[in-house]
């Protein structure tokens, strides 16, 4: 199914917009404040241009940038409840739009590293979902692994929304967790440079197909003096095909109509390729109801906290020292 990215919402579905935000150069708290001002203004303008838009999505690191020399300093961290980040909530309320925003979140435990967090505010400015990145991009990112699991919330147009952040999307297990919790529209925000462009698009499609859910993904765009960020907002149908694909243009807004009830219907009606159901009901033709017992050693070991690869002892990089991080753990400054 294609999508013309209409300015109007569909009768039974939702219109979403993915903003390929220019990678921000952030060196001070004042830069962060100006950046949030810019995102709020752009949200207002986008809603005016697409009056039927239900949900607007901003990439990872769009609020605070990727200044690795300062990104865990108190000056650069935000709180969801703080007045600066709450400007996003007020913008959503004033413009009748749902919004997904990124922040590097101060850890309530001051002895531990911050979180890489995504937040969805509904069109009333209320907190609908808060997610902390489960799989920081090691060995580069210093963020504390998330402690909120893979939450799902009711969204517009019959959607059940869940969020992953950047490298999370490379793990099929995490996409399956979102679907298992009821998600039918899986959103991925990222701040990847071009090295993994192809893999990013591949996993967006495979996560959709393997779980019979829409995926909607957007990356930063542009050059920050070190890396180029590829943009390429992508919306995938629940059959794994691409509905809309952006380019590498900063500020490009990729829009698409999605119909969550169709994903729900496929999950209930399909026999062939009902992948997420068949996983837990193996061979139901031969065995009525299927075999429920888990056949996978890695799943059993992971559940027991005993996950170990056969080649694990030979892996060379197991900490962040290659990027100058200490190996002692706990909170550290940069």
pLDDT along the chain (334 residues), means of 10: 66 96 96 97 97 97 93 94 97 98 96 97 98 96 97 98 98 98 98 91 97 98 93 96 95 96 97 94 96 97 97 96 85 62
d(CA 253, CA 256): 10
Q: Find out whether 220 and 61 touch, Cβ atoms under 8 Å.
A: yes
Q: How far apart are CA 54 and CA 157, in angstroms?
A: 8
- How far is 76 from 204, CA to CA, in rounded Å? 30
Give the Cβ contact number of residue 153 at 10 Å. 19
Catalytic residues: 60, 133, 166
Cα gap 62→333, rounded to integer Å: 22
Give the contacts of 321 (CB within 8 A, at least 6 positions apart): 139, 327
What is the Cα–Cα distance from 31 to 8, expressed in whole angstroms?
34
β-partners of residue 188 are 164, 217
- For the question of whether the overall pTM of this predicted structure is more than 0.75, the answer is yes
For the chain, report the end-to-end CA distance as a whole number of angstroms.
Answer: 48
Pick the CATH number of 14-293 from 3.40.50.2300, 3.60.110.10, 3.30.1490.20, 3.30.300.90: 3.60.110.10
226: CB partners within 8 A, 6+ apart:
none
Which residue(s) pair with 224 in the sheet?
none
Could you tell me the residue ranges of all domains in the chain? Answer: 14-293
CA 57, CA 106: separation in Å to the nearest integer?
22
**What is the tens place of the pLDDT at every residue in 129-183?**
999 999 999 999 999 999 999 999 999 999 999 999 999 999 999 999 999 999 9
Amino acid 243: pLDDT: 95
Q: CA 217, CA 267: separation in Å to the nearest integer?
A: 22
Whole-angstrom distance, CA of residue 177 vs CA of residue 109? 27
């Amino acid at each position: 199914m294609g999508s013309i990215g209409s300015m109007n919402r569909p009768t039974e579905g939702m219109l979403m917009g993915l903003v390929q935000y220019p990678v921000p150069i952030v060196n001070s708290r004042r830069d962060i404040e100006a950046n949030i001002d810019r995102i709020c203004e752009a949200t207002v303008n986008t809603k005016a241009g697409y009056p039927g838009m239900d949900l607007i999505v901003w990439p990872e690191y769009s609020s605070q940038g990727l200044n690795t020399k300062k990104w865990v300093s108190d000056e650069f961290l935000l709180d969801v409840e703080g007045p600066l980040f709450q400007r996003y909530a007020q913008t959503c309320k004033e413009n009748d739009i749902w919004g997904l925003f990124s922040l590097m979140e101060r850890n309530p435990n001051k002895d531990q590293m911050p979180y890489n967090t995504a937040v969805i505010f509904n069109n009333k400015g209320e907190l609908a979902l808060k997610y902390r990145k489960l799989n920081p991009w090691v060995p580069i990112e210093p963020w504390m692994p998330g402690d909120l699991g893979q939450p799902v919330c009711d969204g517009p147009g019959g959607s059940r929304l869940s969020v992953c952040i950047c490298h999370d999307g490379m793990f099929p297990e995490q996409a399956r967790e979102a679907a298992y919790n009821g998600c039918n529209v899986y959103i991925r925000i990222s701040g990847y440079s071009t090295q993994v462009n192809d893999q990013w698009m591949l996993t967006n499609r495979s996560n959709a197909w393997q779980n019979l859910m829409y995926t909607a993904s957007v990356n930063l765009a542009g050059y920050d003096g070190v890396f180029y960020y590829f943009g390429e907002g992508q919306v995938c149908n629940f059959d794994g095909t691409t509905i809309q694909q952006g380019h590498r243009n900063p500020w490009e807004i990729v829009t698409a109509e999605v119909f969550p009830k169709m994903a729900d219907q496929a999950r209930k009606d399909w026999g062939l390729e009902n992948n997420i159901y068949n996983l837990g009901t193996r061979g139901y033709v031969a065995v009525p109801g299927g075999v429920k017992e888990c056949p996978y050693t890695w799943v059993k070991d992971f559940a027991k906290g005993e996950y170990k690869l056969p080649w694990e002892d030979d892996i060379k990089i197991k900490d962040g020292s290659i990027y100058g991080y200490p190996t002692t753990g706990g909170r550290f400054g940069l």
